[in-house]
Structure 1
Amino acid sequence: MLTEQLKSKIRAIHTRLKTTLPNYQARAGQNQLVAEIAKIISGTYHRRERIGLIEAGTGTGKSLAYMLAVIPYALAQKKKVVIATATVALQEQLVNKDLPFFQQHSKLNFEFSLVKGRQRYACIERLRQQQKHPELFATVQDAAFDWQQLLDKWQQRQWLGDRDTLSSPLAEDMWQRIVADPMHCHKGDRRHATCPFHLARAEIATADVLVVNHALLLADLASGNSILPPPEETLYVIDEAHHLPDIARDYFAAQAQLSHNSVWLEKAAKAIQQLITLLPATVMKELLRFDDSCNELNSLLKPIERCINEFKPRWFADKTEHRFVDAALPTLIQQQAEQLAQVSQKALNQLDKVQQHMQDCITEQQLPLKQSLNLLQELGYLRQKIEQQQALWQLYAMEQQKNVYQARWVELNNQNQYVIGHACPLGVANKLEQLLFSDAFAVILCSATLTALNSFQYIKYDLGLSQFEGVQTLQVSSPFDYPQQGQLIIPKMKTEPTEQAYTDELVLLLPKFLPDDQASLVLFASYWQMQQVAEALRSKGFSLLVQGEASRQALLQLHSDNCKHNNRSILFGTQSFSEGLDLPGKLLTNLVITKLPFAVPTSPLEEALAEAITRKGGNPFIQLTIPATAKKLVQACGRLLRQEQDKGRIVILDRRLVSKSYGSAMLNALPPFSRNIEY
C-alpha cells in the first residue's frame, strides 16, 4: 500500500513540477491519473494483479502523470521501471525531454536509459576494419565513403555510435558492414569492450528507468529476460498500448522460403568445407555434425518444394497470395513440419558452437583476416535462413484441427521465383498473459485511444486480460473544451462511399470545405482515390501537398512554411497521416475525413480472423470491423486539437454515420464537438 510518507512525497514533487513547468495549467484529469495509477501499482485494488487500462485524452499530461505515480513508488520498493512505447517519436520525447525534466525537478535520485536492439548499434572494431582495409570491402558505390570521418566523430563523441544519431543516414548494405551483430561484436573479445552496444548494455545495470519499444520488450520477455529485469521485479508502463496486440502478432509470426532452398544450403556446404581447412581439429566433430544437419534439412525441404511446384498453378492463378482455409496445410507439408522444426533447431544449436569456436580463434588471431571476415558474413546469412525455417516449421507443426489459432498462407515473391510460407497467430492473449501479466509486479497500459465504441472489452480480449479480476479501467477525458473549440460537420451527400459516383461527388464538394485562409488536412481511405481527387482539384487550380510525392518530413516543412506566411495550405494523406501527426495551432484548423476508415479484410490475417469468428457463430463485421473503424476514426479526429488554445472544425464526407445503424455508436465515441449534421 502507499504510505502517507510516499503520498506526501508525490504531492511535493507534483507541486515543484507545477511551479517549474512553462505555461503550466492545473488539470483535474492529471491529478486523477496520478492518484489512480499510484493505487493500482501499490496493490490498493488487488494485492497480486496490479494491472491498469487507462485511456487519457489529448492534453491530459499522461507521461508526467505516470512518471509521478510510478517512479517514486518503484524507488521506494527497489523495483525497476520499464516504459515501452510504439513509436520512436515518443521514445525520443521521453529520453530527451520528459525524463530529464522530471529527474531535475523531482529531486529524486534515479538514472534512466534508452534501450535499443543490437541492430541499432555500430561495432567500432568493424568500423576500424572498414577504414584500415578498404580493399577487402569496397565496391564501386562506396569506394569514396569516408569511414575515418565516422570514426573521428565517435572518438570526439559527436556521434553516439548508433544508427539514430548519424548526422546523415547510411544505406542498409553499408550499415550492415558495421552493425554490432553477435558474431562480430563479441563482449568476450577485449577489442569490443568499448563498442557502443556493450557500453549501452552496461548502463542497464545501473539504470532505474528503462525506455524500450514494444518489439524489444516482447523479444526480451520471450527470451527469458536476457536484457531487461525480470517481470516480478518490474513496474511496466506500456504507452501507446493500443498498438501492442498488433506488434505482438507481428513478433510471434514467422515467414520462410519454401522453394529454392538448395541455393543457400549449397553455400552452407561450401562454407563448412572452408571452415574444415581453417579451424583446429578439435572443432571437426561439431563441423561434421552441422554439415549432417544441413544435409538432412536439404533432403527434407526437397519434397516440400516438389509439393509447392505441383500446387503453384492453382494457388497463384490470378493472385500472388494463397491462404489455407482453417489453417489446413497440404498433407505432405503438415506431415514434415515437426521433423523440419526439430532438424532446423538442431542445426541452430550446432551453428552456435561453431560460431563460438570461430570467435575464439579470431580473438586469438589464429585466422587470416579476409577469410575469417567473409566466413563470418556467410555464417550470419546462414543463421538468418535457418532461424526463419525453424520459426515457420515450429508454427506449422502446431495442431489446428479442433480450434484454429493461426493464419497460414503462401506468397509468390515479386520476381515470381520464390514461394514464401507465412504463419501468424490469430491472437496473442495467451502469450502476453504467460510472458507478462502473470508475473509482472505491476503493468499500466495507457493510450489516448484504448477503448473502441467507449468500451474496454475489445482491448481486454486482445491482450488476454478478460480473466484477470484485478484489472482496473479508467477513462480520463481531455481538458479541451470541445464544444467551444471544435465543430463537427456532416454535410448532406447524394452518394455513399461504396458507390462509383462517390469520387465525382467528392471532387464537386471538397472545394467548399477548403477555405482560403486556413490550414487543411484531408484524409483518404485509399491512395487511388486520393490521387484521383488530387488530379481533379489541381486541374481546378488548387495547390496541394500530397503524401507520396515527397517525404513526410518535406511535406510537413512545406506545410509549415505556407502557414507561417498565412498562405492556404492543403495536405492530402491516407491512414498513416491519421495517427502520430502533430499539427498544433494554426498548422491545422480544418480537418476533412473523406470516408470512414474501414479496413477491407483482404490480408490473409484479416480473412482468417473473420473466418474464426464466423466458425464460432459470430459476426466479424460487428465484432472486428466496426470497433476497429471506430478507433481509427477517433485517432483521425484527434489530429485537430493538440493544445488547449487550438480551434477548428472537422468535416466528415460519409453519410453512413447517419444512414447506418452503427453510425450513432461511432459518433458517440468521438469527443463532444458541437455538431452540424445536415440530415
Structure 2
Amino acid sequence: MLTDIIKSQVRDIHQRIKLSLPGYQPRQGQNQLVAEIAKIVAGCYHRHERIGLIEAGTGTGKSLAYMLAVIPYALAQKKKVVIATATVALQEQLVNKDLPFFQQHSKLLFEFNLVKGRQRYACIERLRQQQKHPELFATAESAKVNWQALLDKWQQRQWLGDKDTLSEPLAEPLWQRIVADPLHCHKNDRRHAHCPFHLARAEIGSADVLVANHALLLADLSSGSSILPPPDETIYIIDEAHHLPDSAREFFAAQAQLTHNQQWLDKAGKTIQQLVSLLPATVMKELLRFDDSCNELSSLLKPIERCVEEFRLRWFSDKTEFRFHDAALPKLLQQQAEQLAQVSQKALSQLEKVQQQLQENITELQLPLKQSMSLLQELGYLQQKVEQQQALWQLYALPQDKSVQQARWVELQNQSQHVIAHACPLGVASKLEQLLFNDAFAVILCSATLTALNSFQYIKYDLGLTQFDGVQTLQVASPFAYAEKGQILIPKMNTEPTDAAYTEELGNILPGYLPEQQASLVLFASYWQMQQVAEALRKKGFSLLVQGEASRQALLQLHGENCRHQRRSILFGTQSFSEGLDLPGKLLTNLVITKLPFAVPTSPLEEALAEAISKKGGNPFLQLTIPATSKKLVQACGRLLRQEQDEGRIVILDRRLVSKAYGSAMLNALPPFRRQIDR
C-alpha cells in the first residue's frame, strides 16, 4: 500500500516542481491522475491485478503525472519502471526533456535509459573493416562515405554509435553493412565488447527507468525478458496505448513468399559447398544437417508452388490480393503447414550453429577475409528467408475451426510476380494477457484517446482486459477552455461524401473557409481527393503546401516561415497529419476536416475482422467502423488546441454528423467546443 512516507515524498516533489516552473498553474486533473495512478500501482484497488486504463486529455501533464505517481513508489519497492511509447517523438521527449527535468527537481537518486533495438546500433568492428578494406566492399555509394570520419566521431564521443545520432543519415544498404546484427557482433568476442550496442545493453542493468517502444517491449516479452527486467519486477507505463493492439497485431503477424523459393534454396546449396571447402571437419556434421533440411524444405515447397500456379488466375484475376474466407487455406497448404513449420524451425537452429562456427573460425583459422565476409552475408540472407517461412507456416498450422482467429491472404507483387502469403491474428487479447497482464507487477495504459464513443469497453476488449476484475478506468478532461477558445462549425452542404459531386463541391466551398493571414490545416480521407481539390484551388490562385510534394519536415518549415511573416499558410494532409502533428499557437488557427475518417474495409485484415463479427451475429459497422472513426475524429480535432492560450476554429464539411443516427454520438465524443450547425 501507499505509505505515509511515499505520500509525503510525492507531495514534496510536486511542490518543488511547481516552484521551478515559471507561471505554473495548478491543475486539478493532474492531481487526480497522480493520486489514482499511485493507488493502482500500490494495489489499493486490487492486490494482484494492478492495471489502469487512463485517458488524459491534451494539457493535463500526463507524463509528469505518471512519473510522480510511479517512480518514488518503484524505488521504494525496488521495482523497475518501463515506459513504452508508440512513436520516436515521444521517446525523445521523455529521454531528452521530461525525465531529466523530473530527475533534477525530484532530488530522487535514479538512472534512466533509452532502450533501442539492435538494428539501431552500428558495430564498430564492422565499421573498421569498411575503412581498412574498402576494396572488399567497394560500390559507387560506399565510395562517397567517409568511414574514417565516422570512426573519429565515435572515438571522440561526438557520435553515440547509433542510427539516430548520425549527423548525416546513411542510406539503408550502407547502414546494413555496419549494423550490429547478432551474426557479426558477438559480446563474447573481445573485438566487439565495446561496440555501442553492448555498451548500451550494459547500462540497462543499472537503470531504474527504461524507455522503449511498443515493438521492442513485445519482442522482449515474447523472448522471455532477455533485455528488459522480468514482468513481476516491473511497473509498465504504456503511453500512446491506443496503438498497442495494432502494434501487437503487426508484431505477431507473418509473411513469406510461396513462389520462387528455389532461387534462395539453390543459393543455400552453393553457400554450403563453399563452407565445406573452408571450415574444419568438426563443423561438417552441422553443415550436412543444414543441407538436409534445405533439401527437405525444397521438396515440401515445390508442390506448394505448383498449387499456387493452379490458383493464380482465380486469385488475381482482377486484383493483387486474395483473402481466404474464414482463414480456410487450400487443402495442400493446410496439409503441409505443420511439417513446413517443423522443418524450417530445424533449419533455423542448424543455420545459427553454422553462423557461429564460421564467426569463431574467421579469427582462429585466419580464414580469407573477403570470402568469409561474403559467406556471412549470404548466411544472414538465408536466415531471414528461413525465419519468414518458419513464422508463416507456424501460423498457418494453427487450426481455424468455427472460431476464426486469423486473417490469411496472398498478395501478387507486380514487379517480381512473386506470390507472398500473409497471416495476421485478428485479436491479440490472449497474447497480451499471457505475456503482459498475467505476470506484470503493475500496468498503466494511458493515452489522450483511449475511449471510443466515450466508452472504455472497446479498448478493454482489444487488449484482453475484460476478464480482469481489478482494472481501473479514469477519464481526465483537458484543462483547456474549449468553449471559450474554439468553435466547431458544420456548414450547409449540397452533397454528402458518398455523392459523386462531393469532390467538386469541396473545391468550390473550401476557399470560403481559408481565412487570410491565418494558418490552416485541411485534412482529407483520401490522397486522390486531396490532389483533386489541390488542383482546383491552385487554379483559383491559392498557394498550398501539400503532403507528398515535399518531406513532412520541409512542409512544416515552410509553413512556419509563412506564419512568422503573417502570410496565409495552408497545409493539405491525409490521415498521418491528423495524429502526432504539433502546431501550437499561431501555427494553426483554422482546422478543416473534409470528411469523417472512415477506414474503407478493403484491407484483408479489416475484411476478416468484419467477417468474424458478422459470423457471431454482430454488426461490423456499429462495432468496428463507428468506434474507430470516432477515435480518429477526436485525434484530428486534437490538432487545434495544443496549449492553454491557443484558439481557433474547426470546420467539418461532412453533414453525416447531423444527418445520420451515429452522428450525435460522434459529436458528443469531441471536446466541448462551441458548436454552430448551419441548417
Fold agreement, TM-score > 0.5: yes
The correspondence of residues 403-422 of structure 1 with structure 2, limited to 5 A, is 403-422=403-422
The correspondence of residues 195-344 of structure 1 with structure 2, limited to 5 A, is 195-344=195-344
Q: Kindly provide the CA deviation profile for residues 294-322 of structure 1, in whole angstroms up to 9, marking residues without a partner as x.
A: 10001100000000001001111111000
- Secondary structure of 2:650's aligned partner: strand
User: Does the 8 A contact of 1:429 with 1:464 survive in 2?
Assistant: yes
For the residues of structure 1 that align with 2:145 and 2:28, how far apart are their CA atoms?
Answer: 55
Q: Kindly provide the CA deviation profile for residues 144-198 of structure 1, in whole angstroms up to 9, marking residues without a partner as x.
A: 3211111111111111000000011100100000000001011110000000000
For the residues of structure 2 that align with 1:575 and 1:291, how far apart are their CA atoms?
Answer: 48
Equivalent in the alignment of 2:426:
426
Equivalent in the alignment of 1:595:
595
Equivalent in the alignment of 1:473:
473
Equivalent in the alignment of 1:554:
554
* Moved segments of 4+, more than 4 Å: none
How far residue 22 of structure 1 moved from its aligned partner, in angstroms, is 3.4
Equivalent in the alignment of 2:188:
188
For the residues of structure 2 that align with 1:670 and 1:546, how far apart are their CA atoms?
Answer: 27
Is 1:491 the equivalent of 2:491? Answer: yes
Tell me whether 14-23 or 63-72 shows the greater mean CA deviation: 14-23
User: Does the 8 A contact of 1:254 with 1:388 survive in 2?
Assistant: yes
For the residues of structure 2 that align with 1:373 and 1:531, how far apart are their CA atoms?
Answer: 48
For the residues of structure 2 that align with 1:414 and 1:181, how far apart are their CA atoms?
Answer: 31
Q: Kindly provide the CA deviation profile for residues 421-478 of structure 1, in whole angstroms up to 9, marking residues without a partner as x.
A: 0000000000000000000000000000000000000000000000100000000000
- Secondary structure of 1:143's aligned partner: helix
Equivalent in the alignment of 2:669:
669
How far residue 240 of structure 1 moved from its aligned partner, in angstroms, is 0.1
Equivalent in the alignment of 2:165:
165
For the residues of structure 1 that align with 2:59 and 2:91, how far apart are their CA atoms?
Answer: 18
- Secondary structure of 1:359's aligned partner: helix
Q: Kindly provide the CA deviation profile for residues 502-549 of structure 1, in whole angstroms up to 9, marking residues without a partner as x.
A: 111111111110000210000000011000000000000101000000
For the residues of structure 2 that align with 1:585 and 1:652, how far apart are their CA atoms?
Answer: 21
- Secondary structure of 2:144's aligned partner: coil
Pair 269,346 (structure 1): closer, same or farther in 2 beyond 3 Å? same
User: Does the 8 A contact of 1:189 with 1:363 survive in 2?
Assistant: no
Give, as a single letter, the amino acid of the residue that structure 1 aligns with 2:287. L
User: Does the 8 A contact of 1:87 with 1:213 survive in 2?
Assistant: yes
For the residues of structure 2 that align with 1:611 and 1:436, how far apart are their CA atoms?
Answer: 28
Equivalent in the alignment of 1:72:
72
How far residue 416 of structure 1 moved from its aligned partner, in angstroms, is 4.6
Equivalent in the alignment of 2:505:
505
For the residues of structure 1 that align with 2:536 and 2:144, how far apart are their CA atoms?
Answer: 46
How far residue 353 of structure 1 moved from its aligned partner, in angstroms, is 1.3
The correspondence of residues 96-107 of structure 1 with structure 2, limited to 5 A, is 96-107=96-107
Equivalent in the alignment of 2:141:
141
How far residue 347 of structure 1 moved from its aligned partner, in angstroms, is 0.4
How far residue 647 of structure 1 moved from its aligned partner, in angstroms, is 0.4
For the residues of structure 2 that align with 1:415 and 1:277, how far apart are their CA atoms?
Answer: 37
Equivalent in the alignment of 1:5:
5
How far residue 120 of structure 1 moved from its aligned partner, in angstroms, is 0.3
Q: Kindly provide the CA deviation profile for residues 584-635 of structure 1, in whole angstroms up to 9, marking residues without a partner as x.
A: 0000000000010000000000000000000000000000000000000000
Is 1:622 the equivalent of 2:622? Answer: yes
How far residue 362 of structure 1 moved from its aligned partner, in angstroms, is 2.4
How far residue 375 of structure 1 moved from its aligned partner, in angstroms, is 0.7
How far residue 365 of structure 1 moved from its aligned partner, in angstroms, is 5.0
Pair 15,418 (structure 1): closer, same or farther in 2 beyond 3 Å? same
- Secondary structure of 2:142's aligned partner: coil
Pair 363,198 (structure 1): closer, same or farther in 2 beyond 3 Å? farther
How far residue 369 of structure 1 moved from its aligned partner, in angstroms, is 1.0
Give, as a single letter, the amino acid of the residue that structure 1 aligns with 2:480. F
Tell me whether 472-481 or 345-354 shows the greater mean CA deviation: 345-354
How far residue 374 of structure 1 moved from its aligned partner, in angstroms, is 0.7
User: Does the 8 A contact of 1:112 with 1:208 survive in 2?
Assistant: yes
For the residues of structure 1 that align with 2:660 and 2:433, how far apart are their CA atoms?
Answer: 37
- Secondary structure of 1:650's aligned partner: strand
For the residues of structure 2 that align with 1:229 and 1:22, how far apart are their CA atoms?
Answer: 37
Q: Kindly provide the CA deviation profile for residues 317-365 of structure 1, in whole angstroms up to 9, marking residues without a partner as x.
A: 1110000000000000000000000000000111121112122212435
- Secondary structure of 1:255's aligned partner: strand
Give, as a single letter, the amino acid of the residue that structure 1 aligns with 2:316. F
How far residue 403 of structure 1 moved from its aligned partner, in angstroms, is 1.1
For the residues of structure 1 that align with 2:128 and 2:23, how far apart are their CA atoms?
Answer: 48
The correspondence of residues 45-60 of structure 1 with structure 2, limited to 5 A, is 45-60=45-60
Return 5+ residue gaps in structure 2 as ranges. Answer: none
Give, as a single letter, the amino acid of the residue that structure 1 aligns with 2:253. A
Tell me how many residue pairs correspond in the alignment.
679
TM-score by length of 1: 0.99
How far residue 115 of structure 1 moved from its aligned partner, in angstroms, is 0.2
Tell me whether 183-192 or 142-151 shows the greater mean CA deviation: 142-151
For the residues of structure 1 that align with 2:365 and 2:135, how far apart are their CA atoms?
Answer: 20
For the residues of structure 2 that align with 1:590 and 1:198, how far apart are their CA atoms?
Answer: 48
Give, as a single letter, the amino acid of the residue that structure 1 aligns with 2:226. S
How far residue 402 of structure 1 moved from its aligned partner, in angstroms, is 2.1
User: Does the 8 A contact of 1:215 with 1:247 survive in 2?
Assistant: yes
For the residues of structure 2 that align with 1:178 and 1:414, how far apart are their CA atoms?
Answer: 31
Give, as a single letter, the amino acid of the residue that structure 1 aligns with 2:151. L
Is 1:346 the equivalent of 2:346? Answer: yes
How far residue 92 of structure 1 moved from its aligned partner, in angstroms, is 0.2
User: Does the 8 A contact of 1:271 with 1:378 survive in 2?
Assistant: yes
For the residues of structure 2 that align with 1:2 and 1:145, how far apart are their CA atoms?
Answer: 56
Equivalent in the alignment of 1:605:
605
For the residues of structure 2 that align with 1:111 and 1:586, how far apart are their CA atoms?
Answer: 38
For the residues of structure 1 that align with 2:146 and 2:471, how far apart are their CA atoms?
Answer: 55
The correspondence of residues 529-548 of structure 1 with structure 2, limited to 5 A, is 529-548=529-548
Return 5+ residue gaps in structure 1 as ranges. Answer: none
The correspondence of residues 59-138 of structure 1 with structure 2, limited to 5 A, is 59-138=59-138
How far residue 25 of structure 1 moved from its aligned partner, in angstroms, is 1.4
Give, as a single letter, the amino acid of the residue that structure 2 aligns with 1:389. Q
Identity %: 82
Q: Kindly provide the CA deviation profile for residues 83-142 of structure 1, in whole angstroms up to 9, marking residues without a partner as x.
A: 000000000000000001111110000000000000000000000000000000011232
Give, as a single letter, the amino acid of the residue that structure 1 aligns with 2:116. K
For the residues of structure 1 that align with 2:548 and 2:195, how far apart are their CA atoms?
Answer: 38
How far residue 661 of structure 1 moved from its aligned partner, in angstroms, is 0.1
For the residues of structure 2 that align with 1:455 and 1:365, how far apart are their CA atoms?
Answer: 65
Pair 365,85 (structure 1): closer, same or farther in 2 beyond 3 Å? farther
The correspondence of residues 330-409 of structure 1 with structure 2, limited to 5 A, is 330-409=330-409
How far residue 401 of structure 1 moved from its aligned partner, in angstroms, is 1.6
For the residues of structure 2 that align with 1:454 and 1:577, how far apart are their CA atoms?
Answer: 23
